């Protein structure tokens, strides 16, 4: 592979992976505290520090500039906290103000420096807009050390960070020094931002903090797994970005990292098993079909309840008289029930099969039990309970049903005087 022939390309690849990993890891905490845009604000807040470092030292030593960036980022993070705490302004306003004010101060200093005619200043703004391709060996050593350091700190204080992110008051009450923990966390985020700035620039740095965390959130409800996934997504897109820019023609690294991580996000958004849009829509559809089937079974049951002539089939018109619904929906549901063997079709008329009868009894029982429960226990008028029962009949579990039966003392009829079918026989009573 040509890639491994060039030591520079390997540096860039390594740098991007480290950046993705550390940003993905710390972005999760910003995400959980609903401050996803913190990275954006802090990345802008680095500019005055860079300029001050240059003004004070008179040279473009990368380490000094990085130090300056960290100091002003950190002050920016403290300002956000301070504004939220001591004024009545909200979080988003605090972020917006810190972002624009610090950046304005930075531009003011930058233009001031440029007018001074110091030749060394040219390219100072490159610090903010990122050039992954210019990463050198010593940058990688610095990035790598910082990245590994951050992972270690997160591992050491995992419990504390977790507590503060989810429930600050609880953390405080259980004797943790929440302020110290918050400052540590803020410092780590500042480090991640400053490290990333040089590689991908301000805006794309914000993406590397938000997007991996947002993507990871779709896959799991556990913080540990979320951190791992976000780290993985971040590192992966770092590698993809570096590779694309290496093999492609005029492909910038940073933006391709963001496109890669956004694609991961899009995939998670759509297809993550529990929270993804498609699986959720699928489950909703399944539930709707299930509901329609049970409703129809109950309708078929009620129509023959008085005569008990279960084998006498009903025409479509008869069914529609009982339950008003679109003809197409009725046909569709009947078709599904027939296929499941719960309904049998003779010509254009339909009857319940023995299995169908059993299922219809079950759902009718749940419906009527719930009506009894509502009228007796919650003292709701009998003519108000039907709609509620119509919904609960589909989701009542056998255990709950048993509890309701016992609570109500094995009722025989519902509030409208209809028999509750399929109750456990009275001999089974304790």
Partner 1 sequence: MSDALWIILVGCLVASSCALVGCFLVLRKLAMLGDAISHAVLPGIVIAFMLTGSRNVVPMLLGAGAMGLLTVFITDVLNRFGKLQSDASMGVTFTWLFAIGVILVTRYTAQVDLDVDCVLYGDILYAPFDVWAFGSHLVAPRAAWLLGVVTLVNAIVLLLGYKQFKVCTFDPALAASMGIQVAFWHYLLMGLVSVTTVASFESVGAILVVAMLVIPANTAYLLTERLSRMILLAILLGCTSAIGGYWLAERLDASIAAAMGVVAGLQFILAALFAPRSGVISRLRGPRGAGLQLPENSEGTNATAQHVVNS
By CB under 8 A, name the binding residues for partner 1.
31, 34-37, 39-40, 83, 86-93, 95-97, 99-101, 103-112, 115, 203-204, 206-207, 209-211, 213-214, 217, 250-252, 254-256, 258-259, 262, 265, 269, 275, 277
Q: To 10 degrees, what angle do helices 178-200 and 62-86 make?
A: 130
- Minimum distance of partner 1 from residue 186's CB (angstroms): 17
**Do residues 60 and 122 make contact, with C-beta atoms less than 8 angstroms apart?**
no
296 close to 334: Cβ distance less than 8 angstroms: yes
Closest contact distance (angstroms) between CB of 76 and partner 1 is 12
Are 226 and 28 contacting, i.e. CB atoms less than 8 angstroms apart? yes
CB of 108 to partner 1, least distance (A): 4
Q: Which two tokens stand for residue 219?
A: 């896959």
Q: Which is nearer to partner 1, 281 or 329 (CB)?
A: 281
Least separation in angstroms between residue 28's CB and partner 1 is 11
- Exposure letters 169-184 (e unless 16+ CB within 10 A, then b): eebeeeebebeebbeb
- Please answer whether residues 190 and 69 qualify as being in contact, where contact means their C-beta atoms are separated by less than 8 angstroms: no
The residue among 30 and 420 lying less far from partner 1, judged by its C-beta, is: 30
Nearer to partner 1, 32 or 372 (CB): 32
Strand 314-315 relative to strand 349-352, pairing: antiparallel
Nearer to partner 1, 280 or 429 (CB): 280
At 16, list the tokens.
Answer: 């991007």
Closest distance of CB 63 from partner 1, Å? 26
Vertex 143: Cα angle to 141 and 148 (nearest 5)? 95
Q: Are 302 and 367 in contact (CB under 8 A)?
A: no
**Looking at beta carbons only, is 80 or 190 nearer to partner 1?**
80
The Cα 147–Cα 184 span in angstroms is 15
Nearer to partner 1, 128 or 140 (CB): 128
Q: CA-to-CA distance for 143 and 195, rounded, in angstroms?
A: 6
Paired strand residues for 349: 315, 346
CB of 203 to partner 1, least distance (A): 5
Residue 394 CB, shortest distance to partner 1, in Å, is 23
Q: Which is nearer to partner 1, 113 or 407 (CB)?
A: 113
Q: Work out how close the CB of 224 gets to partner 1 at its nearest, in angstroms, rounded to a whole number.
A: 20
User: What is the nearest approach in angstroms of partner 1 to the Cβ of residue 53?
Assistant: 18
Handedness of CA 380, 384, 385, 387 (dihedral sign): negative
Of the pair 92, 406, the CB lying nearest partner 1 is at 92
Instruction: CB nearer to partner 1: give 99 or 372.
Output: 99
Shortest distance in whole angstroms from residue 6 CB to partner 1 = 21
DSSP string, 19-79: HHHHHHHHHHHHHHTT-TTHHHHHHHHHHHHHHHHHHHHSS--HHHHHHHHHHHHHHHHHH
Q: Which is nearer to partner 1, 104 or 289 (CB)?
A: 104
Is residue 13 within 8 Å of residue 239, measured between CB atoms?
A: yes
């Amino acid at each position: 592979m040509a890639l491994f022939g060039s030591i520079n390309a390997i540096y860039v690849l390594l740098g991007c992976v480290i950046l993705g990993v550390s940003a993905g890891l710390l972005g999760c905490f910003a995400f959980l505290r609903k401050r996803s845009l913190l990275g954006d604000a802090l990345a802008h807040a680095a500019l005055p520090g860079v300029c001050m470092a240059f003004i004070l030292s008179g040279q473009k030593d990368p380490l000094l500039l990085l130090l300056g960036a960290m100091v002003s980022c950190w002050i920016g993070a403290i300002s956000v906290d301070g504004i939220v705490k001591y004024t009545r302004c909200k979080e988003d306003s605090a972020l917006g103000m810190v972002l624009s004010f610090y950046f304005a101060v930075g531009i003011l200093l930058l233009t001031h420096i440029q007018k001074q005619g110091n030749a060394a200043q040219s390219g100072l703004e490159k610090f903010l807009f990122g050039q992954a391709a210019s990463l050198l060996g010593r940058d990688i050593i610095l990035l790598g050390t910082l990245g590994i350091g951050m992972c270690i700190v997160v591992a050491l204080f995992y419990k504390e960070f977790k507590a503060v992110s989810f429930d600050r008051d609880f953390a405080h009450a259980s004797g943790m020094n929440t302020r110290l923990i918050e400052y540590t966390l803020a410092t780590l985020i500042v480090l991640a931002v400053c490290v990333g700035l040089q590689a991908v620039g301000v805006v794309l740095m914000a993406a590397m903090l938000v997007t991996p965390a947002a993507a990871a959130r779709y896959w799991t409800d556990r913080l540990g797994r979320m951190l791992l996934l976000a780290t993985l997504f971040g590192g992966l897109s770092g590698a993809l970005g570096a590779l694309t820019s290496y093999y492609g023609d005029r492909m910038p690294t940073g933006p391709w990292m963001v496109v890669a991580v956004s694609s991961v996000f899009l995939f998670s958004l759509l297809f993550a098993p529990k929270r993804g849009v498609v699986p959720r829509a699928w489950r909703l559809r399944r539930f709707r079909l299930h509901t329609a089937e049970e409703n129809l079974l109950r309708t078929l049951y009620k129509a023959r309840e008085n005569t008990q002539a279960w084998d006498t089939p009903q025409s479509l018109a008869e069914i529609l008289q009982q339950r008003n619904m679109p003809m197409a929906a009725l046909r569709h549901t009947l078709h599904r029930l027939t296929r499941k063997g719960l309904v049998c079709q003779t010509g254009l008329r339909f009857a319940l099969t023995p299995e169908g009868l059993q299922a219809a009894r079950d759902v009718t029982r749940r419906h009527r039990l719930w009506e009894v429960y509502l009228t007796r226990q919650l003292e709701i008028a009998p003519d108000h309970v039907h709609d509620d029962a119509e919904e609960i009949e589909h989701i009542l579990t056998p255990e709950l049903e048993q509890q309701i039966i016992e609570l109500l003392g094995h009722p025989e009829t519902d509030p409208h005087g209809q028999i509750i079918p399929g109750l456990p026989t009275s001999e089974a009573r304790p």
